[in-house]
Structure 1
């Protein structure tokens, strides 16, 4: 059984920061950022679809682009909205409804890569592929189901 059922979610981190694909995100490769609730319908809502191979795709409702990255996975690569689906694996963290969003297929250059904050110190904070640390709760994402 899939760790997260198919459906629409807000993907959050404490204290109430949401995975966001900002306005104007119909442009391919718009950066995915972390923001408090914006009140703009769809830009912080994500459609999760489980695939038969155990991975899932995550699509932004407003832009209809997928949580993705350009080309091959690499450490610190920016996470963007992309027209083509990209597969992710969800690893359950120590907290309920909370998961590490991981690049499937095993280590890249010796580390597994997961969705995390970019090292760039800019506002709004960008999301990038970072080394997975399953013991770091700050790296896990809460999937809040939308009715």
Structure 2
């Protein structure tokens, strides 16, 4: 069973920046509220295995990857659904968004900010640091 109910969410970092998809098939970034309908709203749907699929309301793309997961791989909008595991973080309604199925090259990989110093900040797969609350995402119900 997934740790969140099916529905529409804003997914935010502790800095209040929101997971954003500005155009179809583009990189998933984090921005302050943009006011653009749907680009910062995500439909979260549980799968029978306990994982979730995260789909952008405006563009219909999923939070996904091009190719197999690896450290520093940038996350983008994809047509194909990609499953994520949500691991409860320290704060209520906050989760580490993790590539399911165990370690990749010996490391659990989580959705986090990219190490690239560009604007807008992109998301990427980074080694999971369960004690780092900055790596967690707050799921705020919107429907």
Q: Same fold (TM over 0.5)?
A: yes
Structure 2 partner of 1:95: 91
What TM-score do the two structures reach when normalised by structure 1? 0.95
Question: TM-score, normalising length from structure 2?
Answer: 0.98
Cα offset, 1:14, TM superposition:
2.2
Equivalent residue, structure 2, for 1:69: 65
Unmatched runs of 5 consecutive residues or more in structure 2: none
**Secondary structure of the corresponding residue to residue 31 of structure 1:** coil
Structure 2 residue 54 is matched with structure 1 residue 58: yes
Q: Kindly report the root-mean-square deviation, in angstroms, between the aligned alpha carbons of the 2 structures.
A: 0.7
Distance 1:3 1:51 in 2: 11
Aligned equivalents of 2:75, 2:106: Cα separation in 1: 20
Instruction: Provide the C-alpha distance between the structure 1 equivalents of 2:59 and 2:89, rounded to a whole number of angstroms.
Output: 29
Does 1:135 find its partner at 2:127? no
> 1 CA distance for matches of 2:6 and 2:47?
10
Structure 1 residue 16 corresponds to structure 2 residue 6:
no
Q: Which residue of 1 aligns with 2:32?
A: 36
Cα deviation for residue 79 of structure 1 reads 0.3
- The list of structure 1 runs, each at least 4 consecutive aligned residues, that deviate by more than 2 angstroms after superposition, is none
| Superimposed CA distance per residue, residues 97-138 of structure 1 (whole angstroms, 9 cap, x where no aligned partner) | 000000001000110000000000000100000000100000
Q: How far apart, in 1, do the equivalents of 2:37 and 2:58 lie?
A: 7
Which stretches in structure 1 are left out of the alignment for 5+ residues? Answer: none
Shift of residue 16, structure 1, vs aligned partner = 1.4
**Residue 42 (structure 2) pairs with residue 46 (structure 1):** yes
Question: Aligned partners of 1:14 and 1:94: how far apart in 2?
Answer: 12
